[in-house]
Structure formats: C-alpha cells, structure tokens
Amino acid sequence: MTSRRMLLVILVLATSACIQLQGLPPASRYFLLEPMSDVDKIHVESTLAINIEVVDFPDYLRRPQVVVQQQDNILHFSDSQRWATALEENIAAVLRNNVEQMIPAATVLIGPWHGSQANENMVQLSVRKFTGILGQHSDVDIRWRVIFVAGNELSGTFTHRHAIDDSYEELIRALNLALAKLSKELVTVLLETGA
C-alpha cells in the first residue's frame, strides 16, 4: 500500500514538472483595424446617403484568431494573436468612418439591419481574402458593387498586396492600408457616378 502511494506521488510530481517545463502559453494580443488618420482630399459639397453592407464573408475569417496564410494554401489560426472585435463588423465600421472623413456631409450607414431607403446609394462588399503571409505580403481581395439611387450599378474588384515583415503588427498595418485605398476607390466611384 505504501509503495503504491509513493508511486502515485512520484507520478503527480513528474507530471507537474513536465507541465512547468513547458512554461506558460504566450499572452494573447488583440488587434483592431482603425480608420485613416490622414485624408488627402475632403469633398465637403456632397450630401450623398450611403449604405455599406458586407454581403459575403468567408467562414474561415469568422473567428477571433488572426488568420495568416502559409505555403501551399495552408491557413494558420493563432491562438495568441486575436481580433478585438468581430472582423466583419470591424471592416464595415472602418470603411464607414473613412467615407465619412472624405465626405463629411454624407449620411453613411452600415446595413442591412437599419432597412434600406430609396434615397441611399448601396455599397455591397464580398470579401474573398483578408489575410497575408508573414515575411512576404498582405493579401486582400474584395469585390464591390455600388447600386446608385438612379438605379444604375457599377461593380469592380479591389485587390491589394503590400510587402510585410514577419510580424502581426505589420500585417495589421498593411490590412489598414488596404481599407484606406478601398475607401478612396469607393468614394471616387460614388462621387463620379452617383453625385
């Protein structure tokens, strides 16, 4: 009986030592996409009503982990590198804020839950890629469609790759840059065709 207890104590201690040798898991870091900090051109004369809606979003991006690509189309989900909020909502909110900065008199809403109005220009986004390969480049692919109040439509594809180092911070900066460029492209389309 005593030898069994002694063996049990030794096993518990050995297991505890193994767990301690592995160390603590890395602390989680939380990232948030942010609106543009500087605007090249502000269009004060336009009072467009705009509804921005993400209509298609990949399931693999609907998770708290920041997703990066690896070779041969392998995805990596980091447990310690996370989004501070739902990525789909964060993208829509940043685009809304960017458009509001460039067209301050516009009414910019995020759909579809508020109900579309007849006087709104609808911006629909289909996100295909919103990731990158650490040490290489970011990789953004977003299809857009603008349905104007007059009934006409325009659509296009926005792709963006930006060289990055092997840090998650650099990846997030590159993704922010992509959203800033997409925002400028959408504002140009809205003002040239929908004004």
Quote the pLDDT of residue 71.
74
Cα separation, 2 vs 5, whole angstroms: 5
| Integer angstrom CA distances of residue 101 from 2, 144, 170, 191 | 76, 20, 24, 14
Q: pLDDT (tens digit, 9 = 90+) per residue, 100-117?
A: 999 999 999 998 755 556
The structure's pTM equals 0.83
Between 119 and 147, residue with greater pLDDT: 147
Quote the pLDDT of residue 73.
81
Cα separation, 123 vs 178, whole angstroms: 17
Between 12 and 58, residue with greater pLDDT: 58
Mean residue pLDDT across the chain: 88
Query: Residue 20: is its pLDDT beyond 80?
Result: no
Cα separation, 169 vs 158, whole angstroms: 22
Sign of CA dihedral 117, 122, 126, 131: negative
